[in-house]
Structure 1
Amino acid sequence: MNSREFHNALANDASFLVAAHELKTPLSIIRQLSLTLSDREIQLGESEVRRISAQIDLTTERALRLVTDLTKVAKLEDAMFQLEPINARRICSDIVDDMSEAYRLNGRNLILKPANYNKNHSLLALANYDLLRAILLNFSDNALYSSVEKTNVEVSVQSIKSSIRISVRDYGESLPLSIWRSIKKQNCQPVAASSRPQSSGLGIYIAHNFAQAMNGEIGVIRHRDGNTFYVDLMSSEQLSLL
């Protein structure tokens, strides 16, 4: 093994360690909630038991989703993901439905902004449904934990020249500089964020790889009161059959 291969191996090991750190977070939450339910000294009402049980289910789904996405990332070079015209607003509506319960339990709202475009212009993106869904779920998941309580997180779609941009805008904590620099360098390796120990940017790393597999790219706009994460994909003029 030469020096370059050695340093690449170290970088890969570091990435997996950071990924393991983020996967540890939902597992710790599940354990804590389970202990709360099983502690006989803590008297819980029926509604509180239902809330905690729902939180356990949602956190479990998040952990499983991260593992599934990481497995797909590892197989991207060998797998063939079919690209087809996808109705961008429809998949956004699906994401809002999928994440609404998690947002409600955390005192936040996820909304799809009204369409603001020429109705004669198609909003069909050339994409793979599963990969695009994973990107948007990761964006929405990040926004859930970085946004301020009782605020809306906004999902929007717009046409930019020959591309379709799908954005997730949150209002709250700014993106950690470590993750921002990783995106700007376009290596998008998972990095530990000292200002947000519960987040390693793993979702951004996954989104970056999935976007590349669809000939697209991700980006972020930093605001004083939050962030907008987006994915740009090639537009398709074909009629949607979805």
Structure 2
Amino acid sequence: GDVAAYARPEGEKMTLLTTLPGEEGLILVEESGSFAGHPLLADGRPGPLILGAEGEAGLPEGDPLAEAHGYRLFLGQSVTLGENITGVLAVYYRDRRTFTREDLETLTILSRTLAIEEERLAREQGLKDFIDVASHELRHPITLIKGYALSLKERFGELSGERVAEILGAIDEGADRITRLVESLLDISRIERGQLELEPREVDLLPLLRRAVGEMSAVGRKAVLRLRGQVGTCFLDPDRFLEVLHILLDNAHKFSPPGGVVEMEVRERGGDYLISVRDRGIGVPEEYRELIFDRFYQVEKPRYHSKPGMGMGLYIAREIVERQGGRIWYEPRKGGGSVFRFTIPR
């Protein structure tokens, strides 16, 4: 009889989930190009794709289902998540037939249903990745605080005043890091519930920019501020604006080479101020440049997590900027590195 299948690419290979019984319910295709629906994946077309009908091309040689069972007719539809095709929903037929409008609409509805399930799975995986990273991020300062506290408890009388002060400073730094993580989590929660509060007012922009750069320099991180033209006042929430600057400056420093200088520039552009933060770090591959502003997204895989952070900063920055009437984006820097830019209305 006829069979339905859902094809999911896995690199050069492909997994076929089918309605066939037994072991044929799950088929691993070594060469994804042999699958009849591969043109939908290769060309990024939504479909439908019909093969084997009168006046249409036939099924390709090597298609695992057509080859094993003699199917002569193929109907396929892409399953899309955002702008990405995650798979192809297909039906194979032994006998040729004419597809009605209802057939095509039914396939479209089923493909959308699969897309909803794919989105749920992606969110579930994203949450699992976040939990892995969050555990790593929290474990480090907690271990540091516990270790130093134990040293003070067991060897306080042996330690010099200078060493005690150094240990207390490290404990304070670890506590600050935990506080920042918790505050970021609270911001995420407020954003998701639509309760992120802004208190905009007329403020002088230049002191805020200088303060953000000064706070970077105060902790030993090299940063410079470049002004292009006059900088006046804006109607914004100064605390949230500083939060965006801290996120971008900290992010730039995190991915800069040792001793690298982070640059922040502000200039007028139309009815906005354009603020740019530049570094000479490793940059962001093209395929990730839109994703980096998603919640919990990190270019680095969780299992290889080596840079501090939980993938929340750029998401929070985007929400704050957009809620104040601006926009934020990424650009590669000529000569290597990254440029994060955002606008705020004047």
What range describes the TM-score normalised by the shorter chain of this pair? 0.7 to 0.9
Asked if structure 1 preserves the Cα contact closer than 8 Å seen for 2:226 and 2:263, the reply is: no
Identity of aligned residues (%): 17
Per-residue Cα deviation, 1:53-97 (whole angstroms, up to 9, x for no partner) = 243133123212312321232233x56634443333222223234
Match of 1:55 in 2: 173
- 1:28 and 1:233 map into 2 onto residues whose CA distance is 37
The residue number in structure 2 matching 1:190 is 296
Residue 131 of structure 1 is matched in structure 2 by 240
TM-score, normalising length: structure 2: 0.54
CA contact (8 A) 2:188 2:312 kept: no
Choose the corresponding residue for 1:205, options 315, 326, 329: 315
> How far, CA to CA, are the matches of 2:288 and 2:127 in structure 1?
16
* Partner residue, 1:240: none
Matching residue within 188, 210, 214 for 1:70: 188
CA drift at 1:12: 3.6
Q: Match for residue 223 of structure 2?
A: 110
Aligned partners of 2:203, 2:222: CA distance in 1, in Å? 25
Give CA deviations for 1:131-161 in whole Å, capped at 9, x if unaligned. Answer: 3222222112212311222232222221111
Higher strand share: 2
Aligned residue pair count: 222
Are 1:154 and 2:267 counterparts?
A: no
Gapped runs of 5+ residues in structure 1? 236-242
Considering only aligned residues, what root-mean-square deviation do their CA atoms show, in Å?
3.2
Residue deviations 1:189-210 (CA, integer Å, cap 9, x gap): 4323237723553211121222
Per-residue Cα deviation, 1:187-240 (whole angstroms, up to 9, x for no partner): 7343232377235532111212222212211112222442121211111xxxxx
Name which structure has the greater RCO, CA cutoff 8 Å, separation 6+: 1
Q: Taking structure 1 as reference, are residues 17 and 157 closer, same or farther at Cα in structure 2, changes over 3 Å only?
A: farther
In structure 1, give the amino acid aligned to 2:237: N
> Is the Cα–Cα contact under 8 Å of residues 88 and 166 in structure 1 kept in the other structure?
no
Q: Please say which structure displays the higher CA radius of gyration.
A: 2
Could you tell me whether the CA contact under 8 Å between 1:174 and 1:227 is conserved in 2? Answer: yes
TM-score (norm 1): 0.74
Separation in 2, partners of 1:75, 1:210: 14
Whole-angstrom distance in 2 between the partners of 1:205 and 1:69:
10
* 2:337 alignment counterpart: 226
